Amino acid sequence: MEELQYELVDNVLRAEDFIHLKAAVGMIDRPLGQVEKALRNGLFHVSAICDGKIVGMGRLVGDGAMYWYLQDIIVLPEYQGKGIGKNIVNRLLKHIKSTAIPGTKIEVGLTSVKGKEPFYEKLGFSIGATGMRLWIEIE
Ligand SMILES: CC(C)(COP(=O)(O)OP(=O)(O)OC[C@H]1O[C@@H](n2cnc3c(N)ncnc32)[C@H](O)[C@@H]1OP(=O)(O)O)[C@@H](O)C(=O)NCCC(=O)NCCS
């Protein structure tokens, strides 16, 4: 089977795309103004784009020094199971590693939707008492 061609692009996601992606996977609907502010106030976001269409996204929120949280990791249902979600999370982790203070130990957290924990475990996260966590020593 031919490999799916897509690219990951930083910080181009529009609020309308975000709302569309959330709706496509049955996540809670949010008003446009709230989503616009959320995107502005977050640390970083990445979009997966296939043939000009946004097919996936992921966001980082947090303080950019000690704590980062993965939010809204979404791949459209018809594009799931092709490695896009994994690449989105790895892109977010790469951003963290390139912007955190060298020589520090940092914590990446997330709250997994029930049943999606194995997806994050494959990416290095562990299930803790208060959600999923990944500790990284920044070189
Ligand atoms: C969770 C989600 C982002 C995964 O994206 P995806 O593109 O389908 O995942 P990938 O194809 O990159 O999968 C990466 C690996 O995780 C595994 N995986 C993915 N979802 C899994 C699940 N629910 N249970 C077990 N393993 C899973 C894949 O089999 C793959 O394993 P491999 O690397 O050994 O081949 C996607 O299913 C999604 O958008 N779901 C709806 C929204 C959602 O629930 N988001 C999570 C919010 S916490």
Domain that holds residue 84: 7-137
Question: For residue 54, what is the domain's CATH number?
Answer: 3.40.630.30
pTM, to two decimals = 0.97
Each residue's pLDDT tens digit, 93-139: 999 999 999 999 999 999 999 999 999 999 999 999 989 999 999 99
Residue 1 lies in a domain: no
Which atom of ligand 1 sits closest to the CA of residue 82? Answer: 11
What pLDDT is stored for residue 2 in this prediction?
79
Residue 72 lies in a domain: yes
Residue 97 lies in a domain: yes
Each residue's pLDDT tens digit, 34-53: 999 999 999 999 999 999 99
Residue 2 lies in a domain: no
Residue 125 lies in a domain: yes
Residue with tokens 């000690």: 66
Whole-angstrom distance, CA of residue 25 vs CA of residue 46: 17
Of 27, 50, 76, 80, the residue with max ligand 1 atoms within 8 A of its CB, to mutate for a pocket test, comes to 80
Residue 39 lies in a domain: yes
Q: For the chain, what is the domain count?
A: 1
What pLDDT is stored for residue 99 in this prediction?
98
Taking the centre of ligand 1 as the mean of its atom positions, its distance from the CA of residue 122, in whole angstroms, is 9
Residue 64 lies in a domain: yes
Residue 69 lies in a domain: yes
- Cβ neighbors of 70 (< 8 A, separation 6 or more) are 58, 59, 60, 89, 92, 108, 109, 110
Whole-angstrom distance, CA of residue 139 vs CA of residue 136: 9
Of 75, 112, 133, the residue with max ligand 1 atoms within 8 A of its CB, to mutate for a pocket test, comes to 75
User: Do the beta carbons of residue 39 and residue 60 sit within 8 Å?
Assistant: no
- Does residue 1 carry a pLDDT above 90? no
